[in-house]
Structure 1
Amino acid sequence: MTERRSGSRLAALDGLRLLAALMVVSYHYVALARPWGHATDTIFPTLHTAAQYGWLGVEVFFLISGFVICMSVWGRTVGEFAVSRLSRLFPAYWAGVLLTTVVVKAWPEFASPRGWDTLITNLTMLQGGNNTPDVDPVYWTLFVELKFYLIVVVVMLFGVTYRNCLILCGVWTVAAALAPVLNTPLVTQFAMPEYAPFFIAGIAFYLMRRHRPNAVLWAIVILQLLLAQRYLDYRQTSSLGKAAADTLPGWPAHVIVIAAFALIGAIALGACDRIQWKWLTTAGALTYPLYLIHMNIGMTLIHHYRDQIPAPVLVASVTALMLASAWLIHRLVERPLGKWLRTTMRRGIDDVRQHVTPRHRHPRPPAPPTPTAPRPAEDDRTPPHARTFESV
């Protein structure tokens, strides 16, 4: 199959990532009543309705993740992938956990401070697996991502190829479809039926970009788009509460998901390759730290100053402050600490290869001596100027 050059960093994808993050921010700051003390429909009569669909930014993140992770594992070993992901995720995450803990302990008026045991467990990013509370509620999505990475690692053990990626899409689709019927906790945990369609579609979209679109890949994408509709009503209810969800039309959520699929499809097909604005790359880099710190810290600030600053000004100011803080985390923590982690982990992997692997190898027996050929007569020697490349 003919491969197509996937290109360098996709600025349009960074822009979509920022849009998804701002959707989540608007949902927490504008749609939810908790930081304001009452329903926000009277505070933001126009923006309130649109912000109520901001929870869909998480689904957009998962769609982007399927695309990006499939792109990042191609041609890499499991060790290289682990180094890349750990050095990318943990520096900003550690900063977010610690900063959120400090703010919540200083102003415990919105969120309850967590104990030291909860804080330490959160630093591992594995709290979702042992029912430990999150320091910030948005961290639940990170455990979903980690399970996706584990699924990808299994594929890497067999080799990341077009065929194996198609097998992953098929097996995962079947597992996600059967999980509610099987009612097996382990299958449900890893099949993730609510979110699997977004990851799988992202993988298929990247295969389109790398290998060109075909009927099989389009069938996978369309099937995932249909399956994604199944859980949108459930997600709307769990995000907004039953009372609010029952009064809110459901069709905009379906339209937003269709639009997200269309945008990723356009990126996959190269329709957005001309978009190369440098500020989008910077904005994309801020998305992850912004997501990590915006909820408990931002909503604490809104709760604290809601009676002193006009609501629109307060939301705009807190959002700007969170963006500035995300930039500082990116520049002062994520980049230098991430670089140090990459260097350290790569050195550790090299040490393992050099000192552990040779011990398990049997020494190669010496080759038998090659008999010396008789020296040709002076007239039979090949002149130096007549030697070929192979004889040199």
Structure 2
Amino acid sequence: MERTRQFNAAVHGLRGVASIMVFYAHLLGGAAEHVYADRTAYVDGIVPFWNFGTYGVYLFFAISGFVIVPSVIRYSIGDFAIRRFWRIYPIYLFFTLLFICANYATNLIPEVNTPLAIVAGLTFTNILVGTEQLTPNAWSLTYEVMFYGLAATVFYFVVTRPSKLGAAVAVVLAIAFVVKLPAALFFLIGMGTWYLHSRKWVLPPSVKPWLEMASLVALIAVSSQGHFGYYQPEMRDPVALGTMAATAVYFYFAVDLNSLTSRALNLRWVMYLGTVSYSLYLVHPYVYMPMRTVFIKLGLFTDNIPLSLAFFITTVSILTLIATHFTHIYLEKLPYQKRFNKDVFSPHKLIPIKAGVPTNE
């Protein structure tokens, strides 16, 4: 029997927080690498912010793990695939084609200017053939799509149409995915969090706020200490392992409907950032990289680094948010609405779910 529950403001808000983390990490890190590379104090000073900002991608992975489980349960495997396609592919295709055309004209990145790299990028098989993804930031979408496919397939052969052979193959492929690419463990963190909350395995209210705050402080502290792709050799690094552990603990507390995170992020502008987070994630490189070139050519990066960066970040932020808004409306929201006659998200509305924990598709 389905029950209605409140939209999860923490999960939705954390989408926006993660996208902003990545955005500003790229602004600060790009300036360190391409503008002020000889300013050691600046380069060294932004390292913790760069580390913490790029961690936002892995926070996205945990969020995906949390929201995908109920979608896999709710829909048939075909409906699930169709909904995922219309959720992520139209906007991804637009920016990928834009990248392909630009790279063909300039040949700035010749290694992905090949038929194999282009086909692999468009089909999210780049990891399998050893090529790079195309449009900036899209490497994470390959991880996402592989996770979607494996999660849906495992559930199909284990629950929907039980098959020992199918389940065995699906589970082996899922294990291989995690072993080969340990960053996938963040998806499992999200899935595990969903499971614990769906079974109402929660701690007493008297201790949850304190543990949530402590785990958030620990997460910020440890994730700012290292920059990882979470590949196999890096999994021996205590900072990488600590970041995963802190993510698991904090995320467990944060997604509770009455968490401090939920109350702090349940603001209109944060909900908006959560709604446009996917567009922001894909749009911002196409704004900040050209604007960085413009600022360099106009000599707007001066010896006054704080003032120059304030002007640069403000300009890029305004232009990026404008571009993000229209991209979300016409490339993300409109195709989904045309196909399913509903919005991608419906913040602050009661929505039907099949488990005892609120979730957002």
TM range, smaller chain: 0.5 to 0.7
Aligned match of 2:21: 23
Give CA-to-partner distance per residue, 1:229-273, whole Å, 9 cap, x none: xxx89973669xxxxx9xxx985x676655543442123433335
From 296, 318, 328, the counterpart of 2:326: 328
Contact 1:35/1:300 (8 A) holds in 2: no
The alpha-carbon deviation at position 284 of structure 1 amounts to: 0.9
Q: 1:294 to 1:73 in 2, by over 3 A?
A: same
TM normalised by structure 1 equals 0.62
Q: What amino acid maps onto 2:336 in structure 1? A: G
Q: What amino acid maps onto 1:78 in structure 2? A: I
The answer to whether the aligner puts 1:301 opposite 2:301 as a matched pair is: no
- Aligned pairs for 1:357-368 within 5 A: none
The answer to whether the aligner puts 1:282 opposite 2:267 as a matched pair is: no
Distance in 2, Cα, partners of 1:62 & 1:36? 31
RMSD: 4.1
Contact 2:10/2:255 (8 A) holds in 1: no
Q: 1:123 to 1:16 in 2, by over 3 A?
A: same
Q: 1:144 to 1:45 in 2, by over 3 A?
A: closer
Distance in 1, Cα, partners of 2:174 & 2:200? 35
Q: What amino acid maps onto 1:14 in structure 2? A: H
Does the residue aligned with 1:52 lie in a helix, a strand or coil?
A: helix
The answer to whether the aligner puts 1:94 opposite 2:93 as a matched pair is: yes
Distance in 2, Cα, partners of 1:70 & 1:18? 21
Distance in 1, Cα, partners of 2:39 & 2:61? 28
Q: What amino acid maps onto 1:277 in structure 2? A: L
Q: 1:113 to 1:95 in 2, by over 3 A?
A: farther
The alpha-carbon deviation at position 6 of structure 1 amounts to: 7.3
Distance in 2, Cα, partners of 1:45 & 1:236? 13
Give CA-to-partner distance per residue, 1:74-132, whole Å, 9 cap, x none: 222112211211110112212222344566678877x6696473556533333333334
Aligned match of 2:152: 153
From 185, 188, 195, the counterpart of 1:207: 195
Q: 1:187 to 1:16 in 2, by over 3 A?
A: closer
The alpha-carbon deviation at position 296 of structure 1 amounts to: 5.5
Aligned match of 2:352: none
User: Where do 5+ consecutive residues of structure 1 fail to align?
Assistant: 162-167, 176-184, 216-224, 240-244, 344-392
Higher RCO (Cα < 8 Å, 6 or more apart): 2
Q: 1:114 to 1:45 in 2, by over 3 A?
A: closer
- Aligned pairs for 1:227-266 within 5 A: 236=227, 257=244, 259-266=246-253
Q: 1:71 to 1:104 in 2, by over 3 A?
A: same
Distance in 2, Cα, partners of 1:297 & 1:130? 30
Distance in 2, Cα, partners of 1:145 & 1:279? 26
The alpha-carbon deviation at position 50 of structure 1 amounts to: 1.9
Task: Determine what percentage of the aligned residue pairs are the same residue.
Answer: 22
Give CA-to-partner distance per residue, 1:337-375, whole Å, 9 cap, x none: 1233447xxxxxxxxxxxxxxxxxxxxxxxxxxxxxxxx
Distance in 2, Cα, partners of 1:259 & 1:237? 15
- Number of aligned residue pairs: give it: 299
Give CA-to-partner distance per residue, 1:197-224, whole Å, 9 cap, x none: 3111211111122221179xxxxxxxxx
Q: What amino acid maps onto 2:330 in structure 1? A: L
User: Where do 5+ consecutive residues of structure 2 fail to align?
Assistant: 161-166, 204-214, 301-307, 342-361
